[in-house]
Structure 1
């Protein structure tokens, strides 16, 4: 099915009525275009459909200008403070947030929905499922929170996986750490500290290269095709001045928060989006500069990651001042 921008706009305008995404009869308000964009299946119940729609619209809205993102999220009832039973009340709430009247807020909502639909159609990739052929599982969502401003950098990883085959009992994961400073040295097992908070048992760890560990995670129970499973891991390791996801298996969403800290501000932070893995280490490789907020943090997200490419950020530290 081809999704047109006009069809998607019409369906989104229907969705914003009443309670928005919180409406009891959500499935009756979701048309074929929105189903395609949000990858809804016939097996999805009301709760799962609501989750998929909410997450997809939130991700798409993140690409809008601040004012349009504010009013669009409110229009669909995706902003916690704007979860009101009537659309006109959400419009008024949005108007106060952008310091405009209700009529202007309605126009901004229409503009935001049009841009959101254009972006959704432009990035819709019907080959997503085809990319999963040959893979036993894929990542539906990966969220990482990394704190660099610690004696040893620490990351929490929350991952939701989906089985693409029956009788899946183990996940193969990998993590790259910084090798010792001496030239030609290899990373050692003690250079990486891994804890499983929930979702399985770590049963294997092997060196796949001089700085990459392969990890085997045994699942609590076998998964069959379409089953979802969530895992939570904590990593502690010395890292190079970059953090990227280089997926082995297809990944639908990668959300990354990096706390670089305020004590040592980076000179520049560069976005890596479908880059070659070596670009993360290459000081000459270019990328788009992105800002660091007042808390010394960076937040980026990516969709439809291709296996083998790098997605994330790298940074260049400022030179220490001489006193």
Structure 2
């Protein structure tokens, strides 16, 4: 796939860049498969998927190649020229090199992006095959144990999609033991084929779909996680997408008899910042029933979205 993808990216960066080209990307092209484009996607969704996927890949490039790719692709905020040549001239001035050197940096960055995309295809932890159009999560922190219900609306990016992977990570405080177990229930939308625990805090579930999906077909499934009673967990719930996701809705129902002292909205943070996040601008007010509801759209791959709260630690979870 890498050679075909590199060629498509070279064509896409001409003119105004990849976002201008995104509206014409076909679902069966190399770029379309990489970005989980479906035939039913609107131009806006195509632009969002292409931008998110390529920006995410660019974060793993060395610093000089990262800026070269973002500039050439028209994804750099300071380089919005209409033509690739002008953007490359801007890059040459920025890195204090000749125009030819800047051109070589652009070519190298495109090849590296295509190679990394090929490697990602083989990852069992983030298989491509589908995207998430919407995730809706309800976290119930009332009763003997926390319970989380997640409804996913997925869209197939290939013909004959037979199964998908649902995974979750349960974080813990440094001085607490790992969670002893995690209850899992597939409420609707498929059949549980396999459940595994590759790491102490990571759980993964393979779900067979009722029937194979064609490229662009949507499918909805609902799962529920239940935590062991009495086990302490870090007080936050976040979603960190590893594939394109258009929207994420989160509702947290707190115990009205033991409300948290504070609740913060987690707004697209690196995972390592979530545990200590206390930005006053993101403080939330609890509703009378002791709940908060949040909406996120156009999620960036690899960043965390959700809620964090402060209280005597009792429960929490993080979806990964």
Using the size of structure 2 for normalisation, the TM-score is: 0.56
Residues 252-267 of structure 1: pairs in structure 2 closer than 5 A? 252-267=246-261
Is 1:126 the equivalent of 2:119?
A: no
Is 1:234 the equivalent of 2:224?
A: yes
> CA contact under 8 A between 1:272 and 1:287: conserved in structure 2?
no
Match of 1:166 in 2: 159
Partner Cα distance (1:211, 1:184) in 2:
12
Partner Cα distance (1:258, 1:245) in 2:
13
Match of 2:291 in 1: 297
Match of 2:204 in 1: 214
- Write the deviation string for residues 223-253 of structure 1: whole angstroms up to 9, x where unpaired: 1210100101111125421011111211111
Is 1:280 the equivalent of 2:251?
A: no
Structure 1: tracts of 5 or more residues without a match: 3-40, 45-51, 53-122
> CA contact under 8 A between 1:264 and 1:318: conserved in structure 2?
no
Structure 1 pair 254/284, CA: closer, same or farther in 2 (3 Å)?
A: closer
Aligned residues: 203
Is 1:315 the equivalent of 2:305?
A: no
Pick from 244, 251, 260 the counterpart of residue 238 of structure 2. Answer: 244
Residue 220 (structure 1) shift = 1.4
> CA contact under 8 A between 1:265 and 1:318: conserved in structure 2?
no
> CA contact under 8 A between 2:164 and 2:207: conserved in structure 1?
yes
Pick from 183, 187, 191 the counterpart of residue 201 of structure 1. Answer: 191
Partner Cα distance (1:318, 1:207) in 2:
28
Using the size of structure 1 for normalisation, the TM-score is: 0.55
Structure 1 pair 208/310, CA: closer, same or farther in 2 (3 Å)?
A: farther
